[in-house]
Amino acid sequence: MSKNKWTDAERWKLLRALGLYERQLKLLFHIESWGKRSLQSIESVSKRLDTGWSIPSSTKKLPLRIEDDPKSVLKEIREYKENASPLANIKIPACLLGSLGASDEEIVTLERRIVDLQDQLSEANKKIKIAHREETLFKSLAEVIRQEQEPLKLISLPSFTPKLGATKVDAVAILADEHSDAVIRSAGTWGLEEYDFNIFRCRLTRWVNTIAKFATVHLPMHDFERLWILKLGDAVHGDIHGHGPKNYFRNTIKASLAVGDVEAQAIQTLAPYFPKGVIVIGVPGNHSRRSLKKKDYDSAHTNFDYLVMTQIATRLEREIERGTVSVFAPESYSAYALIRDRVWSLNHGEDVRGYAGHPWYGFSRRNNRVQALVARKGMRVQYFTYGHYHTSVEMQEADAESLHAGAWYLTDDFAINALAVGSEPVQPLYVVDDDYGRILSIPIYVRDDDKEEEFRAGTWEPPFGNNLIIDSLGGGFDSLEFPLIGG
């Protein structure tokens, strides 16, 4: 574009072109939003834009019709803004300025701001479309699971007899950071750990048996009514950090169905020990996101943990109808449960940052802030539960208790080489009564070296996942009955 002075008519032409271009963008945006993408609709818009258009005779540089090539018009407008001379070289028609009293420089600044905002809007719309596609994908997959998966058959329940003189209690079991399809090599962890989906099945069996024994044998003076299973995320190892092709199933959708399948079997196995039912509540973790991209706080269900919960609910559909199991997956990264008149908070914990390498200071600050917020609803959290850091810790802070779950494996290639850390695989079990709240903490050490060696030798098979629904539709863990341990 030439740097010569522009005439009033040419200046008017440019401003008019910019205004029409903005109107065209808005109209086209509405057309796309309404799903009317036909050529006829676009032509209709062009005709509307052309109404009342008059071409100054002195204008030679710009296209005669803006709808012929709007990108070129916008490009020339931008070139004009970059090369336009100062105020002294430009005359603005009085009818354009009206009573606003604005200067040329203010108008040019505002026009540049408009173009910049249009660029930002375009970029934001691209991101929104990607987010909508991913959210639609997960909701569609969940709908397919609900339609196609076969529910487990009902199992027989015992006749429950109240224990005379026993304290009425609930059990709260944390189920966090399974990373069930991760593949951890013995060589990569100095011989300290070996883990994959089948070893997870072995450890899940020990988890179920331990809960059942405490409910029936080890605590005879406690009459267990309900079991609360708080799932805190990262049930699958996921696709982030490039793990997807390296995981056990090499497909995270299949892994989500598999872990949901075996955990549904485990939950159904525990139902006969709790006369008032098993309640499962799940929030998503960070490994179960689709990629390393920034966390989408608006779409908690755009997450493979949601598919795991969907599979659990679908497989336990008959138990849910009978009232022995309830499954909740709120579309939120946090959840709150009222257990024996006390509020429990569920959150994976990946958003909490520590200080000097220690995350616990960050949790202390977060808990205080959460207490201040929930107080606006007349609530107070008594127990905060977290996963993510794979370290079993209990702390008292923020006028509450902060309970952190361990993991399902001792260490992995990253933890042992980059951080030189590892801890015994453990998941916490809590006993809760009406008078005192959490009265007992029971660490469930899920690793059973003897059984895992028997599995590797082919002399023992864990009961969960023998016939996965993802491998044989309509088959599965349907026909077994589970007598009370010690009964």
Q: Do β-strands 334-339 and 342-347 pair in parallel, antiparallel, or remain unpaired? A: antiparallel
Average pLDDT, the chain: 78
Strands 400-404, 381-386: pairing kind: parallel
- Cα separations in angstroms, 377 against 298, 363, 373: 22, 21, 8
Kindly report the pTM of this predicted structure.
Answer: 0.69
Q: State the burial class of residue 3 (Cβ atoms within 10 Å of its Cβ: 0-12, 13-18, 19+).
A: exposed
> pLDDT tens digits, residue range 141-194?
677 666 667 788 888 888 778 888 899 999 999 999 999 999 999 999 999 999
Pairs from 459-462 (Cβ < 8 Å, separation ≥ 24): 462/198, 462/201, 462/202, 462/204, 462/205
Q: Which domains occur in the chain, in start order?
A: 8-126 (no CATH), 149-457 (3.60.21.10)
**CA distance to 171, 393, 440, 454, per residue, from 360 (Å):** 26, 9, 22, 39
Q: Mind listing the pLDDT tens digit of every residue in the chain (487 residues)?
A: 444 555 666 666 666 666 666 665 565 555 445 444 444 544 554 555 444 444 444 444 443 344 455 566 556 555 555 554 443 343 434 443 333 344 555 655 666 666 677 666 666 666 555 555 555 566 666 776 666 677 888 888 887 788 888 999 999 999 999 999 999 999 999 999 999 999 999 999 999 999 999 999 999 999 999 999 999 999 998 888 777 778 898 888 888 889 999 999 999 999 999 999 999 999 999 887 876 567 778 788 888 898 899 999 999 999 999 999 999 999 899 999 999 999 999 999 999 887 666 788 889 889 999 999 999 999 999 999 999 998 999 999 888 999 999 999 999 988 898 888 889 999 999 999 999 999 999 999 999 999 999 999 999 999 998 777 665 433 333 333 333 332 2
Secondary structure of 154-218 in HEC code, one letter for each residue: CCCCCCCCCCCCCEEEEEEEEECCCCCCCCECCHHHCCCCCECHHHHHHHHHHHHHHHHHHHHHH
* Parallel/antiparallel/unpaired status of strands 426-433 and 437-445: antiparallel
Q: Can you tell me the distance from the alpha carbon of 179 to that of 351, in angstroms, rounded to the nearest whole number?
A: 19
DSSP assignment of 323-366, as one string?
TSEEEE--SSSEEEEEETTEEEEEE--TT---BTTBTHHHHHHH
Buried residues in 422-431 as b, exposed as e (16+ CB within 10 A): beebbbbbbb
CA distance 361 to 355: 6
